[in-house]
Amino acid sequence: MRRVKELTLNMNYQSNAAYDLSIYENKNTQEEIAEEVLESKPYLRVLPKKATVLAARIAVLKTSCALLSVVAIMSVIIYNRVILTEMGAEINSYKKMISKEVSENTRLSSALSSKVSIRNIEESALNMHLSKVDKFQITYVDLSEGDKVQRTSASPQMSLWDKIKISFDEFLAYIGIKTNIN
């Protein structure tokens, strides 16, 4: 402590060109000698000095890192913006391209539809001497066999009047006046 005081004193009087004469004074007491011995122990003098340097270095490192980080983040942000702008432009370009191709597709499909309209197909067919299927090219089959009633053994018994009527109808059919119905 004393040494520190001396140095401080030294500094304080430096500008006034004063001299610290105490260093030339005799060390009178045992206590002063012991104190001096105690003050001269290595750990008491080195530790504060090393911590200060390290702290200073760490501070510099931290500052540098922070600066670097800021610069890096800024760079990344700027780069992102650049990339986004470029990609935006690219997307727009592709969108325009798609729109252009879709429109071209519409135009061409429209032209194609126009060429293959029913009217044009019919005209082309006529020019090739093709014709629609005519009735004479179709064979018509009559699948109907007329209405028939089949009398089975389980049919109701006919009355005498029914038998006379049927016989009379068959007679008329035989002579051609009435069509026989089976």
Does 26 interact with other proteins (rule: CB under 8 A)?
no
Judged by beta carbon, residue 69 or residue 110, the one nearer other proteins is: 110
Q: Would you count residue 81 as binding other proteins (CB under 8 A)?
A: yes
Asked whether position 124 contacts other proteins by CB under 8 A, the answer is: no
- The least distance separating other proteins from the CB of residue 15, rounded to whole angstroms, comes to 15
Q: Is 147 in the site for other proteins (CB under 8 A)?
A: no
The rounded distance, in Å, linking the Cα atoms of 137 and 109 is 37
Return the DSSP state at 155.
S
Applying CB under 8 A, the site for other proteins has a residue count of: 28
In angstroms and rounded to an integer, the radius of gyration of the C-alpha atoms of the chain is 63
Helix, coil or strand: residue 20: coil
Which residue do the tokens 């197909």 mark?
A: 121
* Residue 140 touching other proteins (CB under 8 A): yes
Alpha-carbon distance values, 37 to 34, 43, 49, 63 (Å): 5, 13, 19, 41
In angstroms, the CA 87 to CA 154 distance is 92
Q: Which of 45/81 has CB closer to other proteins?
A: 81
Using CB under 8 A, pick the residue from 22, 69, 85, 124 that binds other proteins.
85
Q: Are 169 and 178 in contact (CB under 8 A)?
A: yes
Positions touching other proteins (CB under 8 A) are 81, 84-85, 88-89, 91-92, 99-100, 102-104, 106-107, 109-111, 113-114, 117-119, 122, 134-137, 140
